[in-house]
Amino acid sequence: MKAIEIMMNEHRVIERLIIVVRQICKGIMNGEPICYEDFEKIIDFIRVYSDEHHHGKEEKCLFNQMLIHLGALGEKLIKGGMLVEHDLGRLYVKDLEEALERVKAGDEESKLDVIANAISYTHLLTRHIAKEDELIYPFALNKLPQEIVEEVNKACLAFEQEAAQKSVQDSYLELLSKLEEKYK
């Protein structure tokens, strides 16, 4: 399997998580209690599967090659776009975690911040995924020299194999399935 295909498949998994997060936020809006344990699982999923695994692969295998080989336009797309959005997603997750702690400590108004940060994350990732699928990945495939695309593929497959040895993919897909079952 090629790197871009792997990363696009991971986008489909992340989109499934987005649906779960939106369902949970809808429940909070409707007065359901916050399940802190599920939010801990979601934050862990985001940090490990979405960020370390998926974004890590993008940043280490693809984006660095785009920065090296695609000049000013590659730099603008990656440094001024994709990496900024990765950092913004990390900020929303950090702020979500802090808001959850405030609610847990009795600050009911911070439920607004829980919903705001969780939904902001889902909006950001929905747009981010569309940009990568429709613009960044095709641009990379069309503009990078074929030998560099092959290097990206090899690096991505090595990254995948290392993660598989730690059961990253399987454990987070199992976690997601359980969350989907609970919040369908």
pTM of the full structure = 0.95
How far apart are the C-alpha atoms of 75 and 70, rounded to whole Å? 7
For residue 98, give the 3-state DSSP assignment. helix
Whether pLDDT at 44 is above 90? yes
CB 67 within 8 A of CB 79: yes
Whether pLDDT at 4 is above 80? yes
For the packed helices 146-165 and 168-182, what is the interaxial angle rounded to 10 degrees?
70
Whether pLDDT at 1 is above 90? no
Q: Quick one: average pLDDT of 54-74? A: 95
Whether pLDDT at 184 is above 90? no
For residue 32, give the 3-state DSSP assignment. coil
- To the nearest whole number, what is the mean pLDDT of the chain? 97
Q: In this predicted model, what pLDDT tens digit does every residue of 157-167 receive, in sequence order?
A: 999 999 999 99
Half-sphere exposure (Cβ direction) of 2: Cα atoms closer than 13 Å: 11
How far apart are the C-alpha atoms of 177 and 27, rounded to whole Å? 19
CA proximity to 137, closest of 145, 129, 127, 146: 129
Q: In this predicted model, what pLDDT tens digit does every residue of 70-129 receive, in sequence order?
A: 999 999 999 999 999 999 999 999 999 999 999 999 999 999 999 999 999 999 999 999
